[in-house]
Amino acid sequence: MPKTSARLLALLSLLQSRRDWSGTVLAERLDISLRTVRRDIDRLRELGYPIAAVKGPDGGYRLRAGTELPPLLFDDEQAVALTVALQIAATTQGSGLAEAAGRALNTIRQVLPARLRNRITALSVTAVDRPSTRPAEPVDGTVLLAVSAAVHARETLRFDYSKEAPTSTEGSTITDSPARRAEPHHVVIRDGRWYLVAWDLDHAAWRTFRVDRMSLRTPNGPRFPPRALPGGDVAAFVTSTFRGSTDGGWPCQGTVILNLPSATVATYTRDGLVEDIGPDRCRLTLGSWSWPSLAAAFARYDTDITVVGPAELTGAFAHLAHRFSRTAAGHAIPDTPEGDTGPSPG
């Protein structure tokens, strides 16, 4: 690449990284003179970049938002991050952006340099459920790319896993082991967390591993033939894993009538069926991993509840009522440990 072109790209990258830049700082960063900075700014303006002059002792520059979209410049990390975001949007059901995100992803792939296109091609992410409202757990981008590359190449991964063990498809946990071996099949993001769906060679079972708890060992192990995922759909498999069921549904599901408008209940219901049955009344169907947790989920709506069914849900309400009564009476309060300076009972 000619020296001038490379310098212009470096200048544009700096202008995109923060709001204001003084001419002196730009000159120092690029190891050029102030006169060259002004000349390169003029060249970028001719290319359509809206760069405004900022008043100050040294003078400065700001890349403004324009009415037209000039050519964009991304470094490697930005390109990878953009690709991940578009893949998540393209695989998120109900977002209304899936088709547009897919087209944008194809457009970006076409203009990437070969060295980066190969990395992006190996990066495949599936979004499970709707986007989370909580911040995503931090994950090392290098690890994420390496895991995705192993999925793409069908290479066995060797890694250390943190002390807290992942959950198996049967709902049990795996004891900590310093050297895991697994055949990686899918990278998914669920509720703000990154997971690897893989066949655990040491336990001969499908597992989900938190990517942020993985420390990869190199090199990777041998290649493996593709193995069929139970059910064939990764989103359904992951959902079933976390719900503790085999068909993607909740192990426990019940229906109640709430003395609240359906519009109000729907606002606070993420995963359930809300049906309007009259003024200030609605029917709500929810699922959970246990009957007591399901009863507690209904109780959070803070209104009178009529159980439609099943009988297990009625029993769960009675169980919680007994437990809460004991708690309110003080019988379930644990003894204060010796040396505890907290408030004393009564």
149-178 pLDDT per residue, tens: 899 899 999 999 886 544 444 333 344 456
CB-CB contact of 212 with 176 (8 Å): no
User: What is the helix (H) or strand (E) element at residue 150, kind and residue range?
Assistant: helix 141-153
**Whole-angstrom distance, CA of residue 202 vs CA of residue 213:** 18
What confidence tens digit (pLDDT) does each residue in 11-38 have?
887 887 777 888 888 888 888 988 898 8
Per-residue pLDDT band for 339 (boundaries 50, 70, 90) equals very low
Domains of the chain and CATH, by start: 3-63 (1.10.10.10), 76-123 (no CATH), 141-243 (no CATH), 252-329 (3.30.70)
Amino acid making up residue 128: V
Closest among 158, 148, 174, 153 to 214, alpha carbons compared: 158
3-state helix, strand, coil in the chain (%, to 5): 40, 25, 40
**Whole-angstrom distance, CA of residue 105 vs CA of residue 253:** 39
pLDDT, residue 159, reads 94
Structure tokens at 245: 């069921």
